[in-house]
Structures are given as C-alpha cells and as structure tokens.
Structure 1
Amino acid sequence: MAFPDERLEPREEVRFESEAELGDESQPLDYAAEAHRVIAATRPVDAGRQNGDLLDTHCDDETGFLMGVWEHMWAATAEPVRMPLDRLARLCADLLDERVTRQRWALVTGRLRSAAPISIGNQTADAFREQVRNELLGTTVETYREVMTFRAFGTGSREAAAALAALPADCGDVAVYFPGLDFGNPGMAEAYGDVSDPEVAVYSLAEPTTLRDERDNPDFMGPDGPNFDVDPVVMTEHSVRTVFATYAKNGPSRPHGPLRDVLLRHFGDDMLECCAFD
C-alpha cells in the first residue's frame, strides 16, 4: 500500500511566541469546559451530538458534570500496513501544525497492542512537568497488557520529527501521545464542541492488532419498539497496524472537521473508522 500524501510539499512548522500562547499543559487546558459552558447556554446538554453519535448522556443536576459512556475512537488505514516512521512524522506534523492536537507530545515504544491512549496517559499524567519528565524518560513501564518505554518528550512538529528519526530500527511498536485535541482551534471547537477532551495517540505497530467497531443494529428498533430477539449493537473486527486513536468519557466517536481532513490525507479515502464503548 502507498500512503496517499507522498507528493505533498513540506509544511512549515507552527511556532508559538511564548509559553502563554502555547498554554500550560502541566495542568489540563480548560477548552472542553468552556465548550460545555457555551453549549449549555444555547441548547440542552442531552440534545445529541452532531451526526447523532450520543449515547445515554445527561447532566448531573448536583455536580453539573456530563454523565455517560467511555468511548474509543479509531481511524486506520484500510489495509493492515505499518506506516514508516518518516511518514508517521509527517502525519504528526500535520496534526500539530494544523492545531488538531495540543502541541506537547510523548514518544513511546514497546508492545502497545491495545491502541488505547489511556494506557499511555495514565503513565504521563504529570510527565509534562520537567522534573517528572526527566524521571520517566528512558524508563520502561509494564502494565497488564503492554510494555512501554518513554523515548522522548517535546513540543511541536520539528522536535517530534527529530525524535522519530532517532529511534532504533528494532524498537517495536511506536506511539506518539498527545494530551488532548486542540479545542482552541475554531474548526475543532465547531466539530467537537459537545464532547469531552480525549486522550490522543498515533500508532505504528510492528504486528497487526484487532480493533472492534460497534454500531447500532438497524434491526433492533422497529416501528413497534425494540426487538429483543436481536442484539442492539452489531460488532465487527478489523486488523490494523497504523492507527489514530482517542479515548474519553463522552469523547469523539467519529473523525470530523480538521481531524478528518488530516486523517484522510494520510490514510486515504478508504480509511477505516471504528468506535467502541466501555
């Protein structure tokens, strides 16, 4: 498989003038909270996501927090082909330079078959503070499903490309983790104004892994109500090696807006789109 953007001209990296402009990501940015505040002022919180992707979401009257389900979103190449690291660097550059993701990132290698960014995020919650980052850099962490080595932390596409180029050939699975989508980008805020800010990662896997896609069964809800003789959800499985993934409570369930534009550019028009719920 040839990845679709091979003849694209190199893009200029987005540069920020100050840390104030970049934002302090040692603490989570509050874009999602601001988006929810705006939405709450204009429509009911349970009015449903654009494109009809909302499942059982409501607002707790006492806390004001959105209640609902945890969602995995995956986008992948149609064939289980591994994206070379120089191509992965270009994908990350577009995500960063077009402000689809936040600017800070972590580079992780090892055995990362779950393609679930939360497994990396759990280890890097404080790692964008310099002291914690230095302690974590170069260490290997084992979870019940994965083994991950933290290779680099940085900001922006130029540093990410350099870190990916420095990886050894036998490093196993590779993931670039971002601590969220950039809802400060008006295009992203418009596309995802009523979802929570997710954990985000891009994966290039040494061996295929299987992702599941859960969709509503059109035969479940009929004109006379639900048909309990069939499952309400249809599940299919896909073998993948190159994956963009998000994970959040009431998070994205399909790529939209600037995110979709970037992923189609790199994964092709036959891109797989998967969603599953915990």
Structure 2
Amino acid sequence: MPSANMNVMIKAARKAGRSLVKDFREVENLQVSVKGAGDFVSRADREAEKIIKEELRGARPNYGWIGEETGEEPGEDPTRRWIVDPLDGTTNFLHGLPHWAVSIALEHKSEIVAAVIFDAAKDELYTAEKGGGAWMNGQRLRVSGRRQMIESIFATGVPFGGRNTLPATLKDLARLMPLTAGVRRFGAASLDLAYVAAGRYDGYWERGIHSWDVAAGILLVKEAGGFVEAIRGEGPVVDAGNIVCANPQLFPELATQIRSWD
C-alpha cells in the first residue's frame, strides 16, 4: 500500500499533469518568456508548480521545499523537503514534443525516500518508495539485464546555449559512442532515469544538472536494482550536479569510461 506521503505526491502530480496536458494542446498560444539562452519558462510551467506547491505544502506545511521556478524555502522540519520540477522537458513541451514530465521527490535527512514522475502525455506514472520497489502504472520495474556495452543504449543530456559543460560532454560522446548500440538525447532527465529503471535504457549520465532534475529518478533507479553515483564530488548524489547510472552489469564500465579523463 502506498504511504500517506505517496498518495499526496500522486494526487499533486496528476493534478499538475492535467493542467499541463490542457496547455500542451494549445502550446502555440502559451505566454512564453526567456529565462536564458535556449532555456524557456512558460505560464504552464509556473501554474504547474503552483498547483503542486499548494497540494504538497497544504498537506505537509512543515516540510521544506525546493522547486525549479520558486526556489528554496526552509520548513519547520529541517530533515524533510520536497524537491520538485513541475515541468521537466520544458523545451520539448513548447515545441509540441510529447516527452516531458512532472517530477516530485521527498528527501529525508539527505536521502530520497519517495518519488513520483508523471509522464502525462503518455499517461505513465512512475512511483517508488525506499524499500518498496519501483513501479509504473502498477507494474514492477527492473533495470535491464544486458551485460555488453555494444548491445546497450545509453541516454545523456547535451548542453544547449552557452553552457560550459559542452566540451566535456562531447568528449564523453566521442569515447562512448563507438562502444555502444547508441546514445539518445530526449531532453528530460527525469524520464531518462525512469527509462533506466524500466529497462528501456541501459544507463544514463549527465553533467550540469540540478537536484530537481534527478531527485525522483535516483530513487526509481535504485529501487529497480540499478546503481547511481555522482561522476565526481562528495556528498549526496542529488546535490552533486552530475550523475551516472546503469544496471549492475554495465555500471562499472560506464562509470570508468565517463570518469577516465574527468
């Protein structure tokens, strides 16, 4: 049975998802402002975060909060905080590409203990709680069983605009692509991680990411039997700003390749 917190998270994700789907159908009419080169934020994005914040903080007013649009707010309970990306894949959304998601995680004492990723366009709801496994629409998820890099597909994020992680990512691609069956760049980190948990991808890595991009997906991968670490840096992987994950058979080689020149 889902916990009370999980039920709150699912309700918030579905409510925000319904709002986003409605706006997605009218994407050409959205009021769009520019946050930075290639990084857009829309009215839909802000409205989704407002919905989630009202649901989560209404149910758990003493928990802390960090959201992509509204930033960080401490809670009376310093050990717990919500980590939220109301619309991961905003650029996909604004271009009419149906690959974006709502991502909600609950952190307790620097560890992610509950996660929801809702792909509203495809009606796929990914959930996980610590020790309870990873699930999608009621079906148990497991990472893939592939053992050879050359048979495996990996996902990553390719920097846009003027981001300074582009040279490192190009080195990653030059090293990895000859060793694999392919690398995909779909533009939504939360779904990259969910797809690793579901065995659709065999692994994923990315540099220059935020906690709200990966918090929920980290727990999904772990609960589906995968390995997740920071590429570099100490402390919780959710705050590292970089990530590498894969099934247990492929993780050592993938991580070694990514770290070999880092």
Larger Rg: 1
> Does the TM-score normalized on the shorter chain lie above 0.5?
no
TM-score of the pair, normalised by structure 1: 0.26
Which structure has the higher relative contact order (CA within 8 Å, separation 6+)?
Answer: 1
TM-score of the pair, normalised by structure 2: 0.27
